[in-house]
Amino acid sequence: MEKRLRLAPSPTGLFHIGTARTALFNWLYAQKIGGKFLIRIEDTDFHRSKSEYTKNILDGLQWLGLTWDDEPVKQSERISIHKKYIKKLLECGAAYRCFTTENEIHELREEQKKKGLPPKHDNRHRNLSKDEIETFISQGRTSVIRFKIDEKKQIRWVDQIRGEIQWQGKDLGGDLVLSRRAKGFEIGDPLYNLAVVVDDNFMNITHVVRGEDHISNTAKQILIYEALDFKLPKFSHAPLILNSEGKKLSKRDCVTSIDEFRDMGYLPESLSNYMAFLGWSPKSAKSELLSIQEISEVFELSDINKAGAKFSWEKLNWINSQYIKNMESIKLSKIIGKYWDDMGWKPPSQEWAIKLAILLRDSMILLKDAIDQSKPFFLLPPIQKEGKDFLENKDGKVSLKLILNYLIEKNTGKLQKENAHAIINEISKIHNIKKGILMKSLRVAFFGCLSGPDLVQSWELFSESKSDILRIKRCLN
Ligand code: GLU
């Protein structure tokens, strides 16, 4: 039988890293077992769902390389089918109309709160007579459809990540609401637990892999599967992504949408590599730097941890820097070139762009680091405070004066990769100034600060129009 997995995002916000990691686990496992990876857009919350969020999610999946099979299914197009199944459950007596008003529910909650009990419906309309139903309807009361949950029922499944899980019917909050309120004998809009079962069955889903926040939903859904006589898929519940305080990663943790990671300068391959290791501890991976294709070859759901996975910027940054460092230089120069374009900076040649990319790649963590790090190659960088302090306090100005005089006297005008060390050695010897001080002073003149790529390698890339003499002179004023 064909193995089929799915991602079922609700388009009520931008593509979140938690959803992206669920997508990745589904994709990896589908690849591993030679199955299909499908998408279902759960867009039945009409107030909160937006087509731009659907686009954002699909674009994000594509950017991460998580390609899917077939056209995405839109849940909103299947509402009449969901209702048909609700009707079926009503007809076979597994579900019933419940006319409890909002006020009555509120009173019940308050009473339970006072007694320190968790919220739970009391199933008061489970056995209404025909007459009672008609009276409620004639009074203009609206109704939801509730699915009967047997309090004594034991629900068990073998979760592929967490092993055996057990739930008691009595812990599921009372009879389950399947549809929103509607007037008369109408059936209101179907709700998540019903729709998800009907659609997973329709899409022949064999493996449901989702976050652990859905465990209690799975217990409810298994009961609906049984009532509708549908074949159960295998369930897996992945641990949540946690922030540094061990709480669920949320919007308050600043960066959570895949767009934001992209805009900050993370590569899709590093983000997906990092996300795979968020909760997954392989027994047999050779390295922590692996493409999703390589990961899919060794990926097992049973290697996913049960405990929450702490998000670490440090680790993500390290992985991103490694991908940048190992990237093919032409490709990197093209990626960096887009940032230069945005800044209006024009590289003199493609060869120059590639050389600069090679020079910068060892010190970059994020792609956008290329902006700050390549600025001195396009513009005369302002001298920053640390640079100014160095020049004032550490023989910096004296050093620059000596270098300037040398360049003027010897009429070279330009420091070159080939002669730089000889010049610095000579000045250092004659004037008894440490080579380190001379080099650092030059660094301030060229980069405006004490950091930056290798100085000697940089010289051939500095633009002629902002000559070395000019760069040094401006520090001496
Ligand atoms: N729409 C649900 C969500 O985004 C889907 C959960 C599931 O995979 O069933 O959380």
Give the C-alpha separation, 53 to 64, whole Å.
Answer: 16
DSSP states of 109-154: HHHHHHTTPPP----TTTT--HHHHHHHHHTT--BEEEE---TT-E
Cβ-based neighbour number of residue 393 at 10 Å: 9
- pLDDT tier at 156 (50, 70, 90 boundaries)? very high
Distance CA 112, CA 121 (A): 10
Q: Which pLDDT score, from 0 to 100, does residue 249 have?
A: 86
CB of 212 within 6 A of ligand 1: the answer is no
Q: How far is the CA of 236 from the centre of ligand 1 (A)?
A: 13
Cβ contact 124:201 at 8 Å: no
Who contacts 61 (Cβ-Cβ below 8 Å, separation ≥6)?
Answer: 7, 15, 20, 23, 39, 67, 68
Looking at the CA of residue 196, tell me the nearest atom of ligand 1: 9
Stretch 273-283: mean pLDDT, rounded? Answer: 93
> Which neighbouring-strand residues pair with 97?
145
Whether residue 465 is predicted with pLDDT greater than 70 in this model: the reply is no
* Most informative mutation of 56, 61, 202, 210 for ligand 1 (most atoms within 8 A of CB): 210
pLDDT of residue 464: 72
Q: Which of 418, 417, 420 is nearest to 461 (CA)?
A: 417
pLDDT digits (tens, 9 = 90+) for 301-354: 999 999 999 999 999 999 999 999 999 999 999 999 999 999 999 999 999 999
What's the CA gap between 314 and 280, in Å, rounded? 18
Q: How confident is the model at residue 412 (pLDDT cuts 50, 70, 90)?
A: low
Q: Tell whether ligand 1 has an atom less than 6 A from the beta carbon of residue 174.
A: no
Is 42 touching ligand 1 by the criterion CB < 6 Å? yes
The pLDDT assigned to 394 comes to: 76
pLDDT at 360 over 70: yes
At 147 the pLDDT is: 98
pLDDT digits (tens, 9 = 90+) for 213-263: 999 999 999 999 999 999 999 999 999 999 988 888 877 787 789 999 999
Separation between Cα atoms, residue 83 and residue 90, nearest integer Å: 10
pLDDT at 468: 83
CB distance 196 to ligand 1 below 6 Å? yes
pLDDT at 416: 79
Q: Is the CB of 10 under 6 A from ligand 1?
A: yes
Q: Is residue 18 in contact with ligand 1, taking CB distance under 6 Å?
A: no
Tens digits of residue pLDDT in 178-207: 999 999 999 999 999 999 999 999 999 999
Q: Is the CB of 8 under 6 A from ligand 1?
A: yes
Compute how many other C-beta atoms are within 10 angstroms of the C-beta atom of residue 6. 28
In the numeric block, which tokens belong to residue 407?
Answer: 């360049």
Q: Which domains does the chain have, with CATH numbers?
A: 4-71+193-241 (3.40.50.620), 79-192 (3.90.800.10), 251-323 (1.10.1160.10), 327-375 (1.10.8), 385-474 (1.10.10.350)
Nearest-CA residue for ligand 1 atom 3 is 9
- Ligand 1 in reach of 75 Cβ (< 6 A): no
Task: Tell me how crowded residue 69 is: count the other CB atoms within 10 A of its CB.
Answer: 13
| CA 193–ligand 1 middle distance (angstroms) | 9
The pLDDT value given to residue 462: 87
Q: Is the model's pLDDT at 38 over the cut of 90? A: yes
Whole-model pTM: value is 0.91
Does residue 285 carry a pLDDT above 80? Answer: no
Say yes or no: CB of residue 83 within 6 Å of ligand 1. no
Structure tokens at 200: 């997973």
Residue 139: which residues within 8 A CB-CB, separation 6 or more?
none
243: left (phi over 0), alpha (psi -120 to 50) or beta: beta
Look up tokens 């990691």; give the residue: 21
What is the per-residue pLDDT for 264? 93
Q: How far is the CA of 63 from the centre of ligand 1 (A)?
A: 21
**Reported confidence tier of residue 375, pLDDT bands at 50, 70, 90:** very high
Q: Who wins on pLDDT, 460 or 310?
A: 310
Among 6, 42, 236, which residue has the most ligand 1 atoms within 8 Å of its CB, making it the best to mutate?
42
Band of pLDDT at residue 377, cut at 50, 70 and 90: very high
Residue 300, pLDDT > 90, answer: yes
Give the three-state DSSP class for 391.
helix
Residue 284 scores a pLDDT above 80: no
Confidence of residue 119 (pLDDT cuts 50, 70, 90): very high
Q: What is the DSSP letter of 280?
A: B
Residue-level pLDDT at 418: 79
Q: Is the CB of 9 under 6 A from ligand 1?
A: yes
Give the DSSP letter of residue 349: -
Give the nearest ligand 1 atom to 42 CA.
1
Under 8 Å between Cβ of 248 and 309: no
